[in-house]
Amino acid sequence: VLLALLAVASGGKLLVVPTDGSHWLSMREVLGILSQKGHEIVVVAPEVTLYIKPSKDFTMKMYPVPFTQQEMDEDFQGFMKDLFEGGSFLTRVIRLYQRSKKTSALFLATCTHLLHNEELLRYLEDSRFDALLTDPILPCGQILAEHLSIPSVYFLQQIPCALEYQATQCPNPPSYVPRVFTDHTDRMTFLQRVRNLLYDIPNLFLCDAVFQPYAQLASEFLGRAVTVPGLLRQASIWLMKIDFVLHYPKPLMPNMVLVSGVNCAHEKLSQ
């Protein structure tokens, strides 16, 4: 009986499709812990990255992409500059829209080359993974999970245009959930609530520019019509890097689990 239970206690095979940048830095901490617990981890990443590098904690599978390291570095530096630069609300929206289109094209090319890498896909299909871990800020990982027919686990803080609410059908009331760029708190006057509602309108255009190409790519790759919210809806668990100390309280669905603190793994915080 004890020998039969060993199979239950053994680690699983985890496929990881990360998003580069700060998204990877916190995910890397989680993979280190999972490796110590005996899980077999395979990370799929492009040959050109900012921070995703090989490690003793996982097996790295890389694939070629149609851009250079210099092009990626310049794009990310431009994105950070545009993101934090001041200006009026309209100026920031236009600037972010233009930058999002450029950066999204780079990430879309990365996803396209992953999904059309036949040799890598054959390896992933033959490996028989138990689950896929990804940051759904870009849906490439979920497209791959659908192709491999394996459950997916999301590790994220938030998704542009609040797609996590649409995908999980989670309430997101503008009456007290502050929108980006408003600087509102969760205690708003009536006029601030109206303003909070109006700030959602530009998201319709930003989402279309960033995510519609993924819907088209996924439909072609999977051989059926899909939408990005429909893809994201397939996740088993949403591990949210938020808490109600640094973020305002807001509604959550049963499969949205708060795991705040992983960003501070090596920091000794003051009281």
Scanning 48-160, the segments in alpha helix (DSSP H) are: 69-84, 89-115, 118-127, 140-148
For residues 147 and 142, what is the distance between their CA atoms, to the nearest angstrom?
A: 9
Spans of all domains in the chain: 13-258
Average pLDDT, the chain: 86
For residues 58 and 253, what is the distance between their CA atoms, to the nearest angstrom?
A: 31
Contact 267, 202 (CB under 8 A): no
- The pLDDT tens digits for 110-162 are 999 999 999 999 999 999 999 999 999 989 999 999 999 999 999 998 887 88
Contacts of 217 (CB under 8 A, 6+ apart): 108, 111, 112, 115, 143
Classify residue 161 as exposed, middle or buried by CB count within 10 Å of its CB (0-12, 13-18, 19+): buried
Contact 115, 201 (CB under 8 A): no
Residues above pLDDT 70, as percent of the chain: 92
Query: Quick one: pLDDT at residue 79?
Result: 73
pTM: 0.84
Residue 164 gets which letter from DSSP? H
Tens of each residue's pLDDT in the chain, 271 residues: 666 655 555 679 999 999 988 889 889 989 999 999 999 999 999 999 989 999 999 999 999 998 888 888 887 787 777 777 777 777 777 777 777 777 778 889 999 999 999 999 999 999 999 999 999 998 999 999 999 999 999 999 888 788 899 899 999 888 878 887 788 888 889 999 998 888 877 777 777 777 889 999 999 999 999 999 999 999 999 999 888 777 778 889 999 999 876 665 556 656 5
Quickly name the fold that domain 13-258 has. Rossmann fold (3.40.50)
230 φ/ψ angles, rounded to the nearest 5 degrees: -65, -35
217: Cα separation from own chain's centroid: 17
Query: Quick one: pLDDT at residue 268?
Result: 65
For residues 164 and 159, what is the distance between their CA atoms, to the nearest angstrom?
A: 6
